[in-house]
Amino acid sequence: MAEFARLVIDDKEYTLPVIEGSEGEKAIDIRSLRHESGYITFDPGFGNTGTCRSAITYMDGEKGILRYRGIPIEELAEHSTFVETAFLLITGKLPSRDELIRTSVLLNDYSLLHEDMRSFYQNFPRRAHPMGILSAMINALRSFYPELVDIDEELNKTFLRLISKIRTMAAMAYKISRGHRVIYPRPDYSYCANFLNMMFDNPVIPYHMDEDLERALNAFWILHADHEQNCSTTAVRVVGSGKVNIYAAISAGISALWGPLHGGANQAVVLMLEKIIHDGMDLDTVIARAKDKNDDFRLMGFGHRVYKTYDPRAKIMKKMCDIVLSKTRHEDPLLDVARELEERALTDEYFKEKNLYPNVDFYSGIVLRAMGIPTNMFTVMFAIGRLPGWIAQWKEDYADPEMKISRPRQIYTGATLNHYIPLSER
């Protein structure tokens, strides 16, 4: 590997160090560039910019590889639990039996919400989107819990408090939005079973816990737990870089995830499939519209900034679709349309040429629907899953002596010097 890159500007040569990661990824370190040459780099959307060194998640978009702390996502989805995966992401290692028990005990201890927070829910309009509510509630946690101190044990408690409470908050938002009685968390249930129970139990018809659905939810959250420097994680790191409290940084991540080009895509996929069925659109028209440059319609759940092959998470999610649908004896016409749409897109020249493959969101909405999760809660489900990743990334950033406050530069294209004209002369 080259140790330096040489950049020539107007006959002057600059030598820039090259950095290599543990999987052979290479970067040109341009930190001295502006100071030495007066030039900056231009990279809207940061597609070619490394913003940190990270030891959390490795992905190879060309080969369709995703690993957390070196462990392939396929192994974790098959054998791990969401709580164990969260521990792995945040601490860097799989927990011992004792560590796992202690984690579960603390998750139970922290699962209740301060009763004063309940009244917040009553004041949101009934139609408020649960992502807006969740982002506000997570931010509000800061007012109820003391400032973080630089003691590992306190930090760990804060992480577990977040992971536990987000699940209660999400289920509570759903129950209150429907005008139903809130169901409290149960210490005898696992993390996932507790969530399903808080969502669907009611005094008249007790919720029947199904191991396969619990397992599917576990896998869904594991698949979403981290994805290196994506839009919402970058938001968490950028906001966190100002040394704001972790609740505010996570709240920013939730807001970023809300967008339809990011976490909102799972909801957008289902809405798209429903519209196709409702309007009786034929799939040739759908594909033609997605390819038309003058039409802003996109095939939701297709394409990814990094994956230029099948998203490894989408493969697992597709398998889970069959398991969950057969378990719930659910016949979903959306799945038939999704399968046919995928088949057509994968053989279409436009999609092949641009490397557009299904991403995790293409099938995740159908899985969530079959579990009974309402469409407007889909992105909330994603946020619960992504929380351990945001925490791990925030923690890494917080402890990294190399990190600075995020402050990109720009190329100014506005007016040059221009003087103020008094109102009477305009």
Question: Residue 61 CB, nearest distance to ligand ACO (Å)?
Answer: 10
Only one of the segments 65-73, 197-205, 278-286, 292-300 lies at the binding site for ligand ACO (rule: CB under 6 A); that segment is 292-300
Instruction: List the Cα angle 138/90/154 in 5-degree steps.
Output: 65
Least separation in angstroms between residue 165's CB and ligand ACO is 24
Spell out the residues 6+ positions from residue 253 whose beta carbon is closer than 8 angstroms to its own: 232, 233, 235, 236, 239, 383, 386, 390
Contact letters (x/-) for ligand ACO, 248-277, by CB under 6 A?
-------------xx--x------------
Task: Select from 246, 342, 248, 243 the least CA-distant residue to 300.
Answer: 342
The residue ranges of DSSP E strands in 155-218, in sequence order, are none
CA distance 201 to 407: 47
CA gap 367, 213 in Å, rounded: 10
User: Judged by CB under 6 A, how many residues of this single chain contact ligand ACO?
Assistant: 17
Decide if residue 142 touches ligand ACO (CB under 6 A): no
290 touches ligand ACO (CB under 6 A): yes
Query: Considering only residues 300, 338, 368, 384, which one is a binding residue for ligand ACO as defined by CB under 6 A?
Result: 300
Give the residue, chosen from 58, 82, 302, 394, that forms a contact with ligand ACO under the rule CB under 6 A: 302
| Closer residue to ligand ACO in complex, CB, 110/382 | 382
> How far is the C-alpha of 421 from the C-alpha of 426, rounded, in Å?
7
Can you tell me whether residue 66 is helix, strand or coil? strand
Q: Which of 129, 224, 227, 304 is catalytic?
A: 304
Residue 344 burial (C-beta neighbours within 10 Å; 0-12, 13-18, 19+): middle
Compare residues 212 and 292 and give the one whose CB is closer to ligand ACO.
292
Given 215, 304, 318, 395, the residue binding ligand ACO (CB under 6 A):
304
CB of 58 to ligand ACO, least distance (A): 17
Choice from 142, 298, 315, 339 touching ligand ACO (CB under 6 A): 298
DSSP reduced 3-state for 100: helix
In the complex with ligand ACO, the residue whose CB is nearer, 147 or 349, is: 349
Asked if 227 is an active-site residue, the reply is no
- For residues 123 and 39, what is the distance between their CA atoms, to the nearest angstrom? 51
Residue from 359, 355, 364 nearest 319 by CA: 364
Q: How far is the CB of 169 from ligand ACO (least distance, A)?
A: 22
| Cβ atoms of 211 and 200 closer than 8 Å | no
Find the binder of ligand ACO among 185, 301, 312, 385 (CB under 6 A): 301
Residues 347-366 contacting ligand ACO, CB under 6 A: 354, 356, 359-361
What residue number has its CB nearest to ligand ACO?
303
Q: Applying CB under 6 A, which of residues 240, 303, 385, 388 lies at the interface with ligand ACO?
A: 303
C-alpha–C-alpha distance, residues 56 and 50, integer Å: 14
Grouping H, G, I as helix, E, B as strand and the rest as coil, residue 23 is coil
- 304 flagged as catalytic: yes
Q: What distance in Å separates the CA atoms of residue 192 and residue 125, rounded to the nearest whole number?
A: 28
Whether residue 351 contacts residue 298, with contact meaning beta carbons closer than 8 Å, is answered with no
**How is the beta sheet containing 26-28 ordered, strand by strand?**
4-9, 12-20, 26-28
57 in contact with ligand ACO (CB under 6 A) = no
- In whole angstroms, the minimum distance from the beta carbon of 334 to ligand ACO comes to 16
352 versus 354: smaller Cβ distance to ligand ACO: 354
Joined tokens for residue 183: 């169901």
Nearer to ligand ACO among residue 185 and residue 253 (C-beta): 253
Nearer to ligand ACO, 162 or 299 (CB): 299
- Write out the binding residues for ligand ACO, residues 79-138 only, by CB under 6 A: none
Nearer to ligand ACO, 247 or 258 (CB): 258
Contact 138, 169 (CB under 8 A): yes
Given the complex with ligand ACO, which of 324 and 356 has the nearer CB atom? Answer: 356
Q: Which residues are catalytic?
A: 304, 361
Interface residues toward ligand ACO, by CB under 6 A: 261-262, 265, 290, 298-305, 354, 356, 359-361
